[in-house]
Every structure is written in structure tokens, then in C-alpha cells.
């Protein structure tokens, strides 16, 4: 079986909106709009993480020409800029929030997070404190992974089934804890080691940047060529 057989293009965004000169990877509203327009025109089927998990449960392959849209950190603009555009296109998406940061300046409030959840956005956990899990002690793992899930569920009144590892960092122990806690899948970055079979607790994502408003670059990323190129150029 080809090592790319299980490729699911999961696009990873952070902030969509005005460039603020900080370190947050940001895609402008205009570039984001062009990316969504491109996906729609090329008839990509945007599927939810729930659909990915269900297909994994049933050992079904992913649909052709599909992609998944995810947003880390829960910035205010995910609610005010990205979500209205996604709705206009009818695209599902997931946002991963960090309870310790919800409501802080620049981040969405619980009211906004709950509104997005009611409106159909998948809300996932991005750990309690945006912690880099390989450096977290065993007892704190429970708070970061299990307590964050429970707290978000309480706030939005819905199940939290997905997690995104801050900075993509995870360990086998963290994976065991989230599996035990009932998460259906977890997303990392493109750091994860590729395996012959797909690891649902280490779904690799493609980072989308402002430059990807260029259709060819986005096409290469979504279709897996970018990924293949990266692997060819990396020591294994």
C-alpha cells in the first residue's frame, strides 16, 4: 500500500484577519476568501472531523477531493471573520480552544464559542493551558486533556470529541490518555512521523499561510504533493 494512501488534507489555520505583527500565523480575510473560493470552484468536498472519524470507525476511505478545515487557538477573528465566510460557502470547520485563554484579549469569549458550536462549528480542545505535552508531568496531563474536555463540554453543552496538540507536540502517553478520555481523534502538525497506517490520534495537518492564496501552492498542499515533496527532502 502506498504510504500516501491515507492522506487526508486537513488544513491548519491559526488567525484569519488583520496582520498584527505578532508571531501568530495569520491569513488575511482576502487571502482566506480566495482560498475558500478556490476550494469551492475546484469542487472540493469539505468534510467535518466527525465525518473523518466515522469513516475511520468504519474503515472506509476518505472521499475523493475532500479537505478538512481546522483553526487552532480560538482567536476572536475565528468567530468574527472566518466563521461568517465559512458559512457563506457552507463549509464545516473545527476550532480548537484553550479554556485558560478563552475570553482573554484577542481570543473568542465563551459566548462566542458557544454560539459557533450552536451554529454547527466543531469545537475541540487545544489543552487547558496551551501546553507543549512532551514537557507536561503525568498528573498535569489529566488536567490538560481530560479536564479541558469536560470544561468545554460544560460551557457549550455539546460533546468535545477532538483535540489538537499545541505546537503539534504529543507523546504515546498523551495519546493513551485522550483515547481513554473518549476523544475520537486528535490533530498534530506535519511533524508527525508518517506510518503505513493512519494514526487517528496523530492526524497530520497542512499549515496554510498567506502565501497559499496562490492557487497552485494551495493545490499542491491539498492534493498531497507538497507533503510528498517534504518527505522526499527530509531524512527518515
Q: Residues interacting with Zn ion, by CB under 5 A? A: 72-73, 166
Facing residues of 163 across strands? Answer: 125, 186
Q: Which is nearer to Zn ion, 124 or 166 (CB)?
A: 166
Least Å distance, CB 177 to Zn ion, is 19
**Sequence-ordered list of residues with C-beta below 8 angstroms from that of 146, at least 6 positions apart, any chain:** 177, 181
The alpha carbons of the chain give a radius of gyration, in whole angstroms, of 17
Q: Which is nearer to Zn ion, 6 or 165 (CB)?
A: 165
Q: Which is nearer to Zn ion, 73 or 144 (CB)?
A: 73
Q: Which is nearer to Zn ion, 7 or 205 (CB)?
A: 205
Least Å distance, CB 131 to Zn ion, is 10
Least Å distance, CB 172 to Zn ion, is 21
Q: Give dist(CA 221, CA 40) in Å, integer.
A: 16
Helix, strand, coil percent values for the chain (each to nearest 5): 40, 15, 40
Q: Which is nearer to Zn ion, 44 or 189 (CB)?
A: 189
Least Å distance, CB 191 to Zn ion, is 13
Q: Give dist(CA 66, CA 222) in Å, integer.
A: 9
Q: Give dist(CA 90, CA 44) in Å, integer.
A: 12
Among 210, 221, 189, residue whose Cα is nearest residue 12: 189
Least Å distance, CB 128 to Zn ion, is 13
Least Å distance, CB 60 to Zn ion, is 30
Phi (first) and psi of residue 33, to 5 degrees? -60, -40
73 conformational bin, left if phi > 0, alpha if psi -120 to 50, beta if neither:
left
Q: What is the DSSP letter of 84?
A: H
Q: Which is nearer to Zn ion, 9 or 166 (CB)?
A: 166
Amino acid at each position: 500500500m502506498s504510504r500516501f494512501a491515507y492522506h487526508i488534507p486537513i488544513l491548519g489555520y491559526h488567525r484569519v484577519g488583520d496582520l498584527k505583527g505578532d508571531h501568530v500565523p495569520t491569513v488575511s480575510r482576502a487571502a482566506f476568501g480566495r482560498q475558500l473560493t478556490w476550494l469551492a470552484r475546484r469542487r472540493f468536498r469539505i468534510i467535518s472531523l466527525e465525518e473523518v472519524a466515522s469513516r475511520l470507525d468504519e474503515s472506509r476511505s476518505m472521499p475523493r477531493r475532500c479537505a478538512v478545515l481546522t483553526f487552532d487557538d480560538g482567536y476572536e477573528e475565528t468567530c468574527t471573520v472566518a466563521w461568517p465566510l465559512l458559512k457563506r460557502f457552507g463549509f464545516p470547520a473545527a476550532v480548537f480552544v484553550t479554556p485558560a485563554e478563552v475570553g482573554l484579549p484577542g481570543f473568542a469569549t465563551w459566548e462566542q464559542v458557544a454560539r459557533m458550536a450552536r451554529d454547527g462549528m466543531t469545537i475541540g480542545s487545544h489543552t487547558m493551558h496551551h501546553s507543549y505535552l512532551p514537557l507536561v508531568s503525568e498528573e498535569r496531563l489529566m488536567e490538560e486533556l481530560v479536564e479541558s474536555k469536560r470544561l468545554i463540554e460544560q460551557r457549550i453543552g455539546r460533546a468535545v470529541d477532538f483535540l489538537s496538540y499545541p505546537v503539534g507536540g504529543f507523546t504515546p502517553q498523551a495519546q493513551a490518555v485522550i483515547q481513554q478520555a473518549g476523544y475520537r481523534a486528535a490533530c498534530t502538525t506535519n511533524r508527525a512521523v508518517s506510518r503505513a497506517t493512519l494514526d487517528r490520534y496523530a492526524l497530520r495537518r497542512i499549515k496554510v499561510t498567506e502565501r497559499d492564496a496562490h492557487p497552485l501552492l494551495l493545490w499542491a498542499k491539498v492534493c498531497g504533493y507538497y507533503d510528498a515533496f517534504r518527505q522526499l527532502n527530509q531524512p527518515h
